[in-house]
Amino acid sequence: MSSTSFSNGWKYDVFLNFRGSDTRYGFTGHLYKALCDRKVRTFIDDEELQRGEQITPSLLKAIEESRIFIPVFSKNYASSTFCLDELVHIFACVKEKSRLVLPVFYEVDPSHVRHQRGSYKEALNSHKKRFNDDQEKLQKWRNALSQAANLSGYHFKQGKEEYEYDFIAKIVKEVSQKINRTLLHVADFPVGLEYRMQDVNSLVNIESGGVHMIGIHGVGGVGKSTLARAIYNLIADQFEGYCFLNVREYSMQNGLVHLQKKLLSKTIGEKC
């Protein structure tokens, strides 16, 4: 885990993963411009890799240096082994540093991505013939697709009474809120904190999709609150609602009812 976990030290705010022939000069191009107009540092690959070429080290590095990933799942997305390889690398980075993935399902049913149906089934069957001697690669692609489709994302479908520019505006708004979130102060000299963060983060297991409660205990002054703030900074972006409350201090000053209202207001975004 790098020191960027404690700061906004990413080179890119957003990395766009997409099938160029499907959406480069349409939806993804419009999304890229909208993000740039809001001063969101966005990486978009300007070159379409040809069959037989490998993903360049610079492209892999761009993924590693990005804070938020937006895979745009379109009809022919899965026919590109490069899109799939990028997606696998994205989730490897997410697992290491707990970053955010915001999937966009553009004119495709999320269940087709999740269970590899329709054009996704056809594409994977085609890859199976080509990579029959590399079942591990095929399984990594399937796992990455399923993992992405299980996340909360955006689904655009023509005729759903929504203009594309309004749909894009919603995505840009969420991204802007995420990258402009004020981080809690952790510590001036967080010596040894990263290792403890790794231990606690391994217990969070966000990918399981369940509800988790983790207790951090110890004598006063050993850094329990410091560790809690660091973990909050690390994973908060992966949730639709989040709140950090010092229960003892806040309840003593304002009472339990006010604390409950504060919690609801922060997590659901409405005044109580």
Query: Which residues are catalytically annotated?
Result: 86
Angle at 96 between CA 90 and CA 97, to 5 degrees: 90
Q: Closest Cα partner for 148 from 97, 221, 90?
A: 90
Can you say whether the dihedral through the CA atoms of 247, 250, 255, 257 is positive or negative? negative
Q: What is residue 213's DSSP assignment?
A: -
Nearest to 35 by CA among 61, 72, 60, 7: 72
Give residue 46's identity as a one-letter amino acid code: D
Query: What CA–CA distance (Å, rounded) separates 249 from 92?
Result: 38
Type of residue at 2: S
Which token pair is 68?
Answer: 């938020």
| Measured distance CA(127)–CA(125) in Å, rounded | 5
Q: Which two tokens stand for residue 140?
A: 């990594």
> Are the beta carbons of 70 and 17 closer than 8 angstroms?
yes
Contact 154, 102 (CB under 8 A): yes
Angle at 104 between CA 208 and CA 55, to 5 degrees: 85
